[in-house]
Amino acid sequence: MKILWSVFVASLIALPCFAEERTLEDVIDDVNAAVLSVTVNTNSGEQALGAGFVIDAEGYAVTNSHVVEDAKDIMVSTIYGDDYEADLVGADKVTDVALIKIKQPKGLEAVHFADSDNVRVGNTVFAIGNPYGLGNSVSTGIISAKERDIEKGPYDNFLQTDASINRGNSGGPLFNMNGEVVGMNTAIFSMQGDNMGLGFATPANMVQWVVERLKTDGEVIRGWLGISVRPVRAKDDNAVMQLAITKIEENSPALAGGLKVGDIIERMDNISLKNPRLFSAEVAAIKPQTKLKAVVRRDGEILPFELTMAQMPQDKNKKTDPEGIFHPQSVEDLGLSQEQLAKAVEFTDLQIKAYYDEKAQEFIITEIAPDAELAIKGFEIGNRIIAADNRKIFGEEDLRIKLKESYDKGQIELKIKSGASNLDVVTLKLEATK
């Protein structure tokens, strides 16, 4: 059975609400003229259909990046049958947002935008798009969920709706009942490509942020710290999530600022620590050269740092997974044979299983408990333990001896390789087993 994801969009600009107690029919009449049917002829000779919407009287409009990908020419049509040529101003593949400029616009109507942060689950909404090339079509529903991660990109933060959305709705707006855009219809989940009541819209605030940068620079310039993070639970409050640093890039602001793998981020200005995805998105939205104040917990100490944001490198800014989110490895990724995996031994004190690489004289972690101190500090499957208390390790028995010797002082210092060039020293608490 085939699972198919389709993709779409919306636009923004916060303006006043319409009058109260207006009928849905009146609201649709007011906004329908701002919605566009988009036809793209590609350089490869194919044709793509989608939707879009006008965001100002100058002729700027928004659609999905994938709708205008490889475009040779772009045509847009209004509900009144007016056809226009359009130029691509810029596109951001990471968020699937594109900005186009209509040539010689005449009397175009533009949408208004709501603050999508204020959208609530249960709000009534309606979508307008160009399903299957039929032209402007309206469907109604509610906001089914917020902050959805559909694994489309690193900044997923979708509004989920049950309003009917199909192929060709890509780039069309999702309106609230005041006729304001709350999101851009961007994706559906479907077995056969048809509506199944699972539609996803990029929040209006995110679209507006991207559009402003495309209009100014023709591209999206993002901030960069050079770290990846994973969620951990605060030890003093199991309901509170924090983020542990699992990777630090070379020549990054995080490395220059003194952060280390294993640090637990307690606070970083007003950036959300709710989950790695929101953290990554909010970091990327910060302008380069901005100063950030961070507070981290390292080996029981609370330490302050000041970091200076850099511009995200081009090779990362164009990827759909540029940086910032922890992706655990699987045992299959380690390149070990079944025979080697069978030789992995358990170290109860560390809450891990590890295979000893005799050639490199290192232990490769093959299993790690989620609540292990190593896991909480950001280490994972595939990391290599290369020294204990600053001494080389010569096999299983040698590491057990070193652990036993460390019981009296109540801790052991491990040197761990967590990447091609990342070497970290971490101190773990030890208690003698009875």
Backbone angles phi, psi at 349, to 5 degrees: -60, -35
Q: Give the CA-trace dihedral at 47, 48, 50, 55, to 10 degrees.
A: -90
Among 350, 404, 341, residue whose Cα is nearest residue 376:
350
* DSSP annotation string for 83-110: EEEEEEEEEETTTTEEEEEESS--S---
Under 8 Å between Cβ of 119 and 180: no
Q: Is 66 a catalytic residue?
A: yes
Helix (H, G, I), strand (E, B) or coil at 249: coil
Candidate list 6, 164, 170, 252, residue with the active-site label: 170
Q: How many CB atoms lie within 10 A of CB 225?
A: 31
d(CA 130, CA 137) in angstroms, rounded, equals 6
Q: How many CB atoms lie within 10 A of CB 151?
A: 10
Sign of CA dihedral 11, 17, 20, 26: negative
Q: Is 73 a catalytic residue?
A: no
Under 8 Å between Cβ of 109 and 34: yes
Candidate list 65, 66, 144, 156, residue with the active-site label: 66
d(CA 182, CA 15) in angstroms, rounded, equals 12
Q: Is 96 a catalytic residue?
A: yes
Helix (H, G, I), strand (E, B) or coil at 8: strand
* DSSP annotation string for 277-343: HHHHHHHHTSPTT-EEEEEEEETTEEEEEEEE-EEPPHHHHTSSS-S-B-----GGGG---HHHHHT
Among 365, 371, 385, 394, residue whose Cα is nearest residue 426:
385
Q: Give the CA-trace dihedral at 114, 115, 120, 123, to 10 degrees.
A: 0
Under 8 Å between Cβ of 171 and 300: no
Candidate list 96, 156, 162, 349, residue with the active-site label: 96
In the block, which residue shows the tokens 């190593």? 374
Collect all residues with Cβ–Cβ distance below 8 Å to 175 and sequence separation of at least 6. 27, 31, 125, 126, 127, 128, 181, 182
Among 319, 240, 232, 258, residue whose Cα is nearest residue 284:
319
Residues with a known catalytic role: 66, 96, 170
